[in-house]
Structure 1
Amino acid sequence: MLPEGKVPVEILEKLFRNLDLNDGRILLGPGPGIDFAAISFGERVLVASTDPITGAVDNIGFYAIHVNANDVAVSGAKPRWFLVTLLLPENSDEELLLRIMDDIRREAEKLGVSIVGGHTEVTPGLDRPIVIGTMFGDVERGNLVRPDGARPGDAIVMTKWAGLEGTSIIAREKREELENVFGREFIEKAAALVEYISVVPEAMISSRFGVNAMHDPTEGGIANGLHEMADSSGLGIRIYPEKIPVREETKALCEFYGLDPLALIGSGSLLIAVEKNRAEALVDELQAKGISSAIIGEFLPEKKRIAVVDGREQPFPRPQTDELWKVFEG
């Protein structure tokens, strides 16, 4: 039986095996750790990505725009056009539909994205709304940043903090329970971390800086995002967990529910592969623009995945599922 959340990478590889990608205009097709497609239109490249929002109810339209925009921005392309499929539970009212679409419209306007189509229906068997988005953007062919472009010896730069999206979702969905433990002010602060979810600004800065690859971690958090990045480039990684920034709100909620913050859904952070001798300069440039960032590891030529803890190397396992599911199951 398949686990909840993302399908395991070894099964995904079976799905990709028999796909016909003989169209010469396809510059980048599906693969482990690859979240967007790239199609040539001469000197420009169309970038497309799709993602569902399944773990949130509150602010679901907000997440739909930004999670999909992030997947396009990591290519160096500016997000421009959005298709949305809205699946509503039985007995939903018009107010819910209008609220979700209003959230989508508002956030699209902030990014300069046009909503160009989609589909809406009431779907039997659902217990919550599901929004599936498809985002398109474009970029000059020479400026496309490929997700499989990391090189041995590249430093791994991470922006912001681990588990941002998961922290906000938990705070919003479990507000009443958590306010009784941590107080209203603390939970409001945790819920407000959703404001950091867009990685479009840092992706645009990094692409202009000249980096080798970018990836925005989603399900499975920073830990799974690092594995996906290594998968796509066919490399290994050495990670320094103590250098991975985690906010106090995330630490508190993860301790309360018994979660690993590094495996908690992580939209809002960007993972970047950049030449080692340029990594500090990239960190300085990002921080000069008000974007917190840190060097958390490096890529290895051999395909091993290791973490350095207390000066000793140990395995760095891939999360089997996102920690967020534990909260809703329990």
Structure 2
Amino acid sequence: MNIENLAKRYFEGNATHAEQLQLLKCLRDSENNKRLFQKLKQDWLNDDEKPISLSTWKKWEKLKIKISAPQKRSILFLNLRKAAGLIAIGLLISFITALPIINKQKIVLNTGAGQTLKLLLPDSSTVLLNSSSSLEYSPLHFLFSRNVKLTGEAYFEVKHKTMRPFRVQTSQLKVTVLGTKFNIQDYNTSDKAFVVLEEGSVKLTSFQSNKQIRILKPGEIAGLLKSANRWEVKKVNTKLFTSWTDGKLYFYDTPFREIASQLQKRYGIKVTVNDKELESFLFSTTISNESLQEILDLIRIALPVKIKSQNKEIIFSLDQRRYSKYTDLE
């Protein structure tokens, strides 16, 4: 197999162990091959603007181990001259194995409706991704600047690194931290976005204007109404916003439109509220392991609503007869 085909298979993460060794030999034996390899590498990077999936990234990690392991086993049996050669080969191996994490390559993680995903970032920070959300980052860039992009909602526990701040960017805001626990929500389908801080401190910056909004303190929420570009910062019970990370949802005097939105994310169904008046009803409850039907039964008992289920959609409408009894009592 010629060097062009070997290089292509290597860049794609499909090279066998024998092909990897053959590629290394080609690069050691010829300066022309090294120059050709550089050109092929650059062409591949320029042409490939698609993100690398998590499964492909894992293949790259295995590939690094496969390349370096045989050399480590034999190092004690080499004389000095061979050891010097091994060092040169090791440098070459380090150079080649860094290829998959050049700037255009990204890891993109997605969750579907009703799903959550917990992941460990390269700096040992953890992220819990809520349903219908995505997290994106460049592995190479992350080694030097801990930047991630979020769409949807996620809870972060960030490892403290004074010289390397952790930054989260959404469509509307940028959050900069050193080490802390916080929750961000910014769905493209919603007119609202917010950041809730549990521990540490975060600097909040508008993505659109690049102006600093506020340095949040523990127990504070910064909420944004996108259509009006209006921010509000206040003290809150953070558990009302982070309880989903424990598999629970706490609602306390929560507008019904917000509850409907949470049900849609948790159970992976479409939820429609047909009455504006019903949207503003306040409701308090806790959801843990209950089924969707159990929650619907609870809502039906507690509120004057009619509930219709059709084609994986739940439709809430105001029960005028029961509602008139509520108003007659006031």
TM-score norm. by structure 1 comes to: 0.26
Q: Which has the higher contact order (CA 8 A, sep 6+)?
A: 1
Q: Specify which structure has the higher proportion of strand.
A: 2
What TM-score does the superposition give when structure 2 sets the normalisation length? Answer: 0.26
Task: Specify the structure having the higher radius of gyration (Cα).
Answer: 2
